[in-house]
Amino acid sequence: EAQVTQNPRYLITVTGKKLTVTCSQNMNHEYMSWYRQDPGLGLRQIYYSMNVEVTDKGDVPEGYKVSRKEKRNFPLILESPSPNQTSLYFCASSLSGVGGSTYEQYFGPGTRLTVT
């Protein structure tokens, strides 16, 4: 089954404790992306990757890191989480990101993160 998986689905942590949210897709997609979703603000892009070893900042990259060492995996790293990073996070992948993202984005089920 074609899918994007994220782990964990729920995470409660404390300020400053480094964490990683994993994302994996099995569709051989080139483009992967991380979004955060907050009430009234919709989905905001954190980072995206056009292909292996190619990553770029989205609209809200501060406080986050990513890496793309393999095509299927795109982990999101919070080196020192803060309460303002409490949010619902989605990983997504698509065939390509070139050309204004006309390709369908496939989203994972989301990770609800709470930083106290």
Partner 1 sequence: TQLLEQSPQFLSIQEGENLTVYCNSSSVFSSLQWYRQEPGEGPVLLVTVVTGGEVKKLKRLTFQFGDARKDSSLHITAAQPGDTGLYLCAGGLGNKLVFGAGTILRVKS
CA max distance for the chain: 40
The DSSP symbol for 92 reads E
Q: How far is the CB of 81 from partner 1 (least distance, A)?
A: 22
x/- binding map, residues 60-89, to partner 1, per CB under 8 A? ------------------------------
Which listed residue (92, 93, 113, 115) binds partner 1 by CB under 8 A? 92
Q: Is 95 in contact with 29 (CB distance < 8 Å)?
A: yes
Q: How far is the CB of 22 from partner 1 (least distance, A)?
A: 15
Q: Does residue 75 have a cis bond before it (omega within 30 degrees)?
A: no
Q: Which helix (H) or strand (E) holds 99?
A: none
Q: Is 41 in the site for partner 1 (CB under 8 A)?
A: yes
